[in-house]
């Protein structure tokens, strides 16, 4: 019965289209003509500049690649689909992002494109799934647009891949996957000539026309509420601007997304960790701001406190502190694959130094790590009765979920309340003062309850519990005091894992306040600069 309810409470949020297209995706195996139509559009110029990506092809001669902090050798045909290697790692291999790394010799790019064609016959393996096809299509075309050559054989392979993609669009997933499909159709539609390519372009533009008004919220946030995927989608839109793709209000969408990004960061080289997020996957904020500047995109930059009410976050900032607060839904109701049970979490900086962080994301493989990093206790928020505030399960699924029932923003104060624990509500208020941050948690319940409040600090911080109600925080030359207003609790210090990057795990100090309550309990936390 519990398993049935979990599935029911997951599936009830899906759109009818998702059921329909999932059935098609599973049972319909499209057949396509394996010869290309008209190839390169002679109007297509190979002189376009795109941002440089991280180096992942370390040694072309020996086939040594590094993705997700993990190295493997790709030498044999079967290596492209090696079941002993993490599937996400193999996806990254098939994306061909390494074509955009700095100073990659033309002969190396040509070699790996040809090797992929020879060792990945239609339609077998990871490389023929829609998402890898979409990213690889864009990367091969970018490779050409940056001044390299695509032979007739390579163009023919690419044409066939896009023809297959056109019949495998990911309407069962929507969200960032469908936008990636659309981008590939647009790039290919502008790259190739003929009626079929024109239809790809038309279809891609129709997807953007339908999806952008829903997926890009009025405050500029991407509706999956992942800071990492926000940057991925933003890069996509900048690429479309770069190619002068005729999308209505494209500049406005980009400007709003740049504003949201500026509100959700402290440093231009780092993103904050909300929902699935890690460094070194998407372009850095600085790269995106620079890219937008080269394309003459004008945008407002968030430098003070602001209420991102449509995505649900809030930015509280003064001369000393920056606090990014999560008063958001966990994501779009029908697609919570990248959501965490993190309602009412926050990240905190003093001046330019980060103090408190969310757990980040190490991997998508279902197991203890993924289960933990999606859990409430992996975030800086309140855990009631040792349960998650939203019922996250498996790698990308969510059943019952917390909903925000009240939120208030005013100057340097933000308050939000959620109902993720059935008959128990949790309300949190953040207040910035010049020298301290005050966090008030109010828990209301019809029954007795246990509560834990987690504070995950960055790895280079030292913490010392100095009394029942206080702990000293030391980072380099800065000292802080964290104190609590109640005595009926236990204050614990543990080392718990965080992941700033995929494939990486670091132990980091975490303060855990454990307490119990009846009907209503108020806990006030102060973090003060000494």
Q: Report d(CA 167, CA 165) in Å as an integer.
A: 5
- Does residue 170 lie within any of the structural domains? no
- Does residue 28 lie within any of the structural domains? no
Q: What is the DSSP string of 414-428?
A: EEEEEEEETTEEEEE
Give the count of domains, the chain.
1
Residues 6+ positions from 395 with CB-CB distance below 8 Å:
337, 364, 365, 366, 370
Residues in the chain: 530
Across 323-337, b (16+ Cβ under 10 Å) vs e yields bbbbbbbbbbeebbb
What three-state secondary structure class fits 529?
strand
- Does residue 229 lie within any of the structural domains? no
Question: HEC states along 111-167?
Answer: HHHHHHHHHCCCCCCHHHCHHHHHHHHHHHHHHHHCCCCCCHHHHHHHHHHHHHHHC
- Does residue 405 lie within any of the structural domains? yes
Q: Which whole-number Å values give the CA distances from 44 to 39, 186, 199, 238, in the listed order? A: 11, 13, 17, 18
Closest by Cα among 153, 205, 212 to 184: 205
Domain CATH number, residue 405: 2.70.98.70
- Does residue 139 lie within any of the structural domains? no
- Does residue 365 lie within any of the structural domains? yes
Q: Report d(CA 339, CA 215) in Å as an integer.
A: 15
Long-range (24+ apart) CB contacts under 8 A made by 428-435 are 428/344, 428/381, 428/382, 430/314, 430/316, 430/323, 430/325, 430/346, 432/305, 432/316, 432/317, 432/318, 432/321, 432/323, 433/318, 434/318, 434/319, 434/320, 435/320, 435/528, 435/529
- Does residue 109 lie within any of the structural domains? no
- Does residue 40 lie within any of the structural domains? no
pLDDT given at position 43 = 61
Q: Report d(CA 511, CA 355) in Å as an integer.
A: 12
Closest by Cα among 224, 179, 223, 241 to 204: 179
Q: Report d(CA 78, CA 62) in Å as an integer.
A: 16
Residue found by looking up tokens 């998402």 in the block: 131
Domain hosting residue 424, numbered range: 306-529
Going residue by residue through the chain (530 aa), what tens digit of pLDDT does each one get?
Answer: 789 999 999 999 999 999 999 999 999 999 999 998 888 765 666 667 999 999 999 999 999 999 999 999 999 999 999 999 999 999 999 999 999 999 999 999 999 999 999 999 999 999 999 999 999 999 999 999 998 999 999 999 999 999 999 999 999 999 999 999 999 999 999 999 999 999 999 999 999 999 999 999 999 999 999 999 999 999 999 999 999 999 999 999 999 999 999 999 998 889 999 999 999 999 999 999 999 999 999 999 999 999 999 999 999 999 999 999 999 999 999 999 999 999 999 999 999 999 999 999 999 999 999 999 999 999 999 999 999 999 999 999 999 999 999 999 998 999 999 999 999 999 999 999 999 999 999 999 999 999 999 999 999 999 999 998 999 999 989 999 999 998 789 999 999 999 999 999 999 999 999 999 999 999 999 999 99
pTM: 0.97
């Amino acid at each position: 019965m519990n398993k049935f309810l979990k599935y029911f409470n997951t599936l009830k949020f899906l759109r009818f289209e998702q059921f329909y297209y999932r059935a098609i995706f599973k049972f319909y195996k499209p057949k396509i003509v394996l010869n290309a139509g008209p190839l390169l559009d002679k109007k297509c110029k190979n002189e376009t500049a795109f941002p440089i990506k991280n180096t992942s092809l370390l040694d072309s001669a020996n086939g040594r690649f590094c993705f997700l902090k993990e190295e493997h050798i790709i030498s044999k045909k079967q290596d492209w689909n090696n079941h002993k290697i993490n599937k996400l790692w193999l996806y990254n291999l098939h994306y061909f992002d390494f074509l955009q790394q700095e100073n990659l010799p033309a002969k190396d790019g040509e070699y790996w494109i040809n090797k992929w064609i020879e060792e990945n016959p239609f339609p077998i393996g990871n490389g023929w799934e829609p998402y890898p096809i979409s990213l690889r299509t864009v990367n091969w075309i970018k490779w050409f647009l940056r001044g390299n050559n695509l032979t007739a054989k390579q163009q023919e392979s690419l044409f066939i891949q896009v023809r297959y993609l056109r019949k495998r669009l990911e309407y069962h997933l929507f969200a960032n996957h469908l936008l990636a499909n659309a981008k590939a159709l647009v790039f290919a539609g502008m790259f190739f000539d003929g009626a079929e390519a024109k239809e790809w372009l038309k279809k891609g533009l129709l997807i953007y026309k339908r999806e952008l008004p829903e997926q890009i919220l009025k405050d500029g946030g991407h509706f999956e509420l992942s800071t990492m995927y926000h940057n991925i989608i933003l890069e996509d839109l900048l690429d479309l601007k770069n190619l002068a793709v005729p999308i209505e209000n494209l500049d406005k969408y980009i400007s709003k997304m740049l504003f949201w990004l500026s509100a959700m960061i402290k440093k231009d080289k780092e993103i904050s960790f909300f929902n699935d997020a890690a460094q070194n996957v998407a372009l850095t904020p600085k790269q995106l701001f620079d890219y937008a500047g080269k394309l003459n995109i004008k945008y407002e930059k968030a430098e003070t406190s602001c209420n991102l009410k449509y995505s649900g976050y809030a930015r509280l900032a003064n001369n000393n502190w920056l606090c990014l607060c999560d008063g958001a839904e966990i994501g779009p109701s029908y697609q919570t694959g990248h959501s965490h049970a993190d309602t009412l979490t926050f990240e905190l900086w003093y001046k330019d130094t980060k103090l408190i962080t969310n757990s980040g994301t190490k991997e998508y493989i279902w197991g203890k790590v993924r289960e933990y990093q999606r859990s409430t206790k992996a975030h800086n928020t309140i855990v009631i009765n040792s349960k998650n505030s939203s019922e996250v399960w498996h790698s990308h699924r969510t059943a019952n979920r917390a909903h925000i029932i009240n939120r208030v923003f005013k100057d340097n104060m933000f308050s939000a309340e959620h109902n993720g624990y059935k008959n128990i509500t949790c309300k949190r208020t953040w207040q910035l003062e010049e020298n301290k941050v005050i966090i008030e948690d109010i828990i209301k319940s019809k029954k007795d309850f246990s509560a834990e409040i987690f504070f995950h600090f960055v790895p280079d911080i030292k913490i010392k519990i100095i009394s029942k109600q206080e702990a000293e925080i030391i980072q380099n030359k800065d000292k802080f005091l964290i104190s609590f207003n109640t005595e009926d609790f236990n204050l614990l210090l543990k080392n718990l894992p965080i992941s700033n990057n995929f494939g990486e795990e670091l132990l980091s100090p975490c303060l855990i306040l454990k307490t119990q309550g009846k009907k209503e309990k108020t806990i006030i936390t102060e973090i003060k600069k000494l």
